[in-house]
Amino acid sequence: MCGRYTITDSRRVAEAFELDAIEADLSRPRYNIAPTQAVPAVLVRDGRRVLADLHWGLVPSWAKDRTIGARLINARAETLASKPSFRSAFAQRRCLIVADGFYEWARRGAAKQPMYIRVDGGMPFAFAGLFDRWRPETPEALASCTIITTEPNALLKSIHDRMPVILPREAYAAWLDPAQADPAALAALLKPFDADRMTAQPVSHHVNSPRHDDEQCIAAIDSLFDSGSWLRR
Which amino acids are annotated catalytic?
2, 104
DSSP string of 8-56, one letter each residue: S-THHHHHHHT-SEE-S--SS-EEEE-TTSEEEEEEEETTEEEEEEEEE
- Answer yes or no: are the C-beta atoms of 94 and 130 closer than 8 Å: yes
Vertex 119, ends 170 and 92: CA angle to 5°?
45
Rounded Cα gap, residues 220 and 172, in angstroms: 31
Cβ–Cβ under 8 Å, residues 203 and 220: yes
CB of 120 closer than 8 Å to CB of 126 = no
Distance separating alpha carbons of residues 136 and 132, to the nearest angstrom: 10
